Structure 1
């Protein structure tokens, strides 16, 4: 398919990069007012333009990875030049109903929430769409399955998905950083500590995804009576390891909902 990404910031560029590497049958265009920072994408066969309308009439799917305040301006710019397009929005807080009202019934509004790991085909991209647009929604799902996982969720959970999947990237990285710092304290240089910490997190995630079981069952495999693992876990929990993470996620959801 021909995919037109409007907004070549961190997220838009990550999606374009992932598609260029992992979904090579697609034709990709990405736009940004100042293209200097994304010209490297051209070496991967991606079309880069400062014009949001560049060949947009040929696109099968238009992906919006822009700021909320830019939506009306961008839509006013492109709508006169397109007809019957799938418009997938990664704009935080913009509901399907609101987007559909802006683009008109001639187009199909789909809501997506990828994260920047899309560039490594490791994004958890949550997708929502109205039942009447199920066929178009599944096309978007197919694209993002090439970039990781692409669960279809109820739209009322999209704000929560933004925190769990997108903000969650930062939360996971903060754990890796803390683990690396601990590694330095117990004797490793920072590069070795980082490599071990990052690979350990990757391995744990792959076990959960492959086996599809509760994490606690996997934890049981590496904890022995009176061992160092259970001692470390108990110390972390006594200082609020799990509860602080849960509170952080819930606080972020309240922030995005404006509560």
Structure 2
């Protein structure tokens, strides 16, 4: 007897929601016909409807046909959505997965009025679009079974890691905002490459591939950055000269401060809304 397919409603089907839906189908965890995608403008989901997904602008109808509900709206839109869903949520049946920044599991239960609601938070990043997301998963009360299921779902679009819920805002800064930080570093490296003689498109390709290689060294060899840095630096060499100049200009300090600033802002987005 085959397992019961996952039946999902993805509310707010933007880039993250659509990437997750496609990842689940591609991995065979469920079929397109078992996923309902919602968006205020259903016309924007027409290609997905043609691919077999259910599409609607009616969030209440979407959760009625689902066991797993993915909340993928902006923090400022969440309370209105939860008010809309409250009467249709069944704590015994529905598992809520929130990818909304800065909103705790308790916030969601409190807003819906369901104290027993099962809520898991997940924080992917935009690399989810190419199945390379770093997704952090957490909850304050969900079971290991629920957390394991959410990890399995997000493993279809990258790599997931389970963390404590109090670290989810920090995860937003390091992993979600972090995509932009590393892209800016690559962009700066490519500009340096152009300044020393390469055409812009060549410099960007060279910088991006070099960054990818650096990350792969750490992930595949399970080493520390400094171990790999030591392999590139020789006494009185050009690498250490460049590294030291960057440190004199505040490279590491700027990145650390940027991550800390993003973490503070991420924690206030929901409350500001």
Mapped pair 1:2 → 2:11? no
1:213 corresponds in structure 2 to 223
Contact kept in structure 2, 1:16 and 1:119, CA below 8 Å: no
- Mapped to 2, the partners of 1:45 and 1:205 lie a distance apart of 37
Match of 2:101 among 77, 92, 112: 92
Output the TM-score relative to the length of structure 1.
0.89
1:136 match: secondary structure: helix
Alignment of 1:77-156 (within 5 A): 77-83=84-90, 84-103=93-112, 104-156=114-166
Structure 1 residue 86, shift from structure 2 partner = 0.6
Matched, 1:171 2:176: no
Contact conserved, 2:71 with 2:100, CA < 8 A, in 1?
A: yes
What SS is found at the alignment partner of 2:161?
A: coil
Pick closer, same or farther for the CA change 1:18–1:194 going to 2, 3 Å: farther
1:241 maps to: 251
Which residue in the other structure is 1:25 paired with?
Answer: 29
**Displacement, 1:75?**
2.1
**Hey, what does 1:56 align to over in structure 2?**
63
CA-based RMSD of the aligned residues comes to 2.1
What CA distance in whole angstroms lies between the structure 2 residues aligned with 1:45 and 1:175?
Answer: 40
Trace 1:33-72 onto structure 2 (pairs within 5 A): 33-42=40-49, 45-72=52-79
Listed one character per residue, the Cα deviations across residues 133-153 of structure 1 (whole Å, up to 9, x for unaligned) are 322121111101121121111
Aligned residues: 257
1:26 to partner: Cα distance = 2.2
Partner deviation per Cα, 1:107-126 (whole Å, 9 max, x = no partner): 31111111111121111111
* Structure 1 residues 73 and 255: alpha-carbon distance in aligned structure 2, compared to 1, 3 A threshold: closer
Displacement after TM superposition at 1:223 (Å): 1.7
CA contact 1:113–1:162 (8 Å) conserved in 2: yes
Larger RCO, structures 1/2 (Cα 8 Å, 6+ apart): 2
